[in-house]
A and B are shown apart, each in its own frame.
Chain A
Amino acid sequence: MQHLDEGTIHSWLDGALSADEAARVEAHVKECPQCAAAVAEARGFIAASSRILTALDNAPRGVIPVAAPKKRVDPIVWRVAATLLVVAAGTLVVFRNGGREARIATTSADSSQNAFTATSQNASTAVAPTAPAGDESTRMTAESTPQVRKPGNTARATTIGSLQPNTGPTEKSAAKVGAANASPPTLVARSPQVVDQAEARVPASQPSIPSRENQKVAVPVGGAVAGSTSTPSGYAGAPASIPQALAPIRLRGVSALDAAGEQLSLKKVRTSRILGATVTLYEVAPGDTVTFTEPVSVQLESVVATGLSSVRARTSQSGKAAASPTKRADAAVVSAPDSQRPTAVVGALAGASSAPVPATRVEVANGVTTISWVDTTTGNVLKLSGRMPETQLQQIKIRIERERAAEAAKKKP
């Protein structure tokens, strides 16, 4: 019998031969050592190729089970990271935007002078190039649409009322932004009697406000309007009589607060610089802290303010500004989860540097009260926030201002 060919051996080993053929091959292999060797070699090839093909199959299984969990976890981690980033960025933007908006609102509603001074003076000095743009547009709105004066009045009254701690934050902010919409500067400067009406409306629109609180609340208003007498602005020549009448109230209020402020202990816990602002954490009582925010980089702030002011102008002109206070409240929720540590609000803006009078704005979000005012020497908007009533914050503010003045005095000589 002829020797077996390789194909037959493989067929036989694969069990593909018929019973007859298989028997014939088997018989031959037993007798033929040469074919037995060939069969052994074929077995080797079959086993080896099978192993190679298995390696081909197993390769992904050998690699992927180890790598797959990592790959599956990674996207989630990245997604979470991305979400956090977006939320953080959004918070920052909303805060800055909101802070600017509300500040302008307060400025125009309470003092009416800051915005105008900024317009008339900054245009020439160019200290804060953004202020003229933003305020210009505000003024334009007021001038071109006289019918918004009425809402402006209402907003003004509400802003004053909003200093009450028990008022809802959204409502308050909406009112403030509404004031920005209407831009009362024109109102005060051109027709002083309108101010009268606005003042008169306070009790009417906010009947729940206790009158004593109201007086204290009127402090910034009086101060602001009083400032108008000394401002060399073309718009602000008229209302001399009203500010003078209100000025004493302001002084009384400040001194009262000042006296109360003496009793507070004020301990600097730590100071940190974040995003162009110095944030100081003061401990006023064990476990009770306030956050004091002060912008440090004027150039940077100017750049930031450019975008914001245009956004604000657009928003207020289109009347959609009411949406932002809600956003700001949300942002406060995000950034103030720790009850012990008040929110650090980085809303510091280098605004109307020439504003002669510090107007105070109050904002309550999530139990955290934030007051902001314009520093008379630097023109920066300073912010103080903590979990306490606004009156207490005002006292702390006075303390801080005094300390700052003392520090500045030390540095000078």
Chain B
Amino acid sequence: MNPEYQEPLVNAENLRFSAFATLFWATLGTKTPAERRYKTRTCLAAAVLICWVVFAFLVHFRPKPMIFVITDLAWGLAITYIAWELRRYLFTLDELARRLQFEAMAWTYLTGFVLAVWLGVLAPFSHTLMHWPFKQSLLLLSPFLYFLLEPVRAGWLYYLSRRY
């Protein structure tokens, strides 16, 4: 080792991925241009969406079908755009950050799946045994809907596996 070399003083916390960026933005906080672009565009998309929802709420007293249609469409477009920007951001990551992101997604999927199944299992129990009111709208959270994701995931897996 070079005896003249002195390791720069670095706060031990700085050696880890930023906790705030990881928890708040889910971006690991490496401060790259790609990360800044992702944050900026995500905020813009969210701001446009919120502005529209507020506007739609204000005109709610005079409901027009077109307002509801555009609001639904705005949600879909905003979420799709954010997903597209997330995809672009993921492809700029170095190998460790990308591995962490994809591992997190895999665990999120698994967690959501298990929670949804338990929600579906517990809802009829609470209705039958505890006599809690059973709302039909809760069926929208049916865990069986999550199974619809499985063929999609299988399709993606097939498509991606063709590269190797």
A binds B: no
Give A contacts to B, CB under 8 Å: none
